[in-house]
Amino acid sequence: MIFIDESIRDSLGYMCVGFVYCKESPDEVINDAIARAGLKPGVDEYKSGYRMANSGSRHELRDSMYQIVRERCKLGLYIAPVSERPVLRSSVVDIVEKIIRCNELALPHRVFVDEGILGHGEPNDGIEVKFDCDSRRIPGIQLADFAAYHCSYLLKCNLAAKSKKILIDEVPHPLSGEEVDLDWMIRADFRRHFFVEQRNVEEIARDDWFFKLAGYGAFFSPELSPQVMSAAEETFESMYFGCIW
């Protein structure tokens, strides 16, 4: 199943749509994370737009969502101009069909789209799309919210040429006690979880560990401005799977 949500950056003129694939329903593990954070499943939820300051429960839930995405999900994304928002459903259906086909995902396939994504779209046979999903009742949408926001943040940092610094306090960790750029850390954590081309790792020579993401897990609207298109391709054209520590 695939869950879909978007992150809109009006000031930068683009939207990032997140596509999160799960082999099995993530409902139970997400609701457990919400309960462990002292919140109520079905009432409370993870939302990237919530203020995290002075909220230990929200921080704990965010960290749990991060772990769920890393352990259980494959990711895709679509970058489009904000002007595409009124017809975004059509693009979402087109991209989800490409993700399913290019990555040879099984059919029939169920797809859940967050409420607020506008327009009209009719999927091909074998793909069942449910629009206007309430993310409290379809918890997997919360994973798509998380993915869309963080992928959008990676692109934002590229466009702005700056990133927030964070202190790595996890022990053990190769960078424990050091300050690193947040976007670098997100990319390092997410890079192996995107849909990418299939390669025979036994045939990879030297440091040729770049895996193509564009066309498999990353898609870009032709209507993007030249500046955003260039940054999107630079950020998501491929992912490096080699050692970075």
pTM > 0.85: yes or no: yes
Residue 170 has pLDDT above 80, yes or no: no
Q: What is the pLDDT of residue 56?
A: 77
Q: What's the order of all strands across the beta sheet hosting 218-220?
A: 127-133, 109-114, 2-9, 14-21, 74-81, 218-220
Instruction: Please state whether beta strands 179-181 and 14-21 pair in parallel, antiparallel, or not at all (unpaired).
Output: unpaired
Choose between 229 and 243: higher pLDDT. Answer: 229
Q: Which residue has the tokens 């299939």?
A: 198
Q: End-to-end alpha-carbon separation of the chain, Å?
A: 33
The 8-class DSSP code of residue 193 comes to: G
Least confident of 74-88, 131-145, 166-180, 191-205: 166-180
Query: CA-CA distance, 187 to 185, in Å (whole number)?
Result: 5
Spatial contact of 91 and 64, defined as CB atoms under 8 Å apart: no
Q: What is the pLDDT of residue 59?
A: 87
Neighbour-count burial for 217-237, b at 16+ CB within 10 Å, e otherwise: bbbbbeebeeebbebbeebbe
Query: CA-CA distance, 44 to 38, in Å (whole number)?
Result: 10
217-239 per-position pLDDT tens digit: 999 999 999 999 999 999 999 99
- 24's CB contacts (< 8 A; 6+ apart) are 72
Q: What is the pLDDT of residue 221?
A: 98
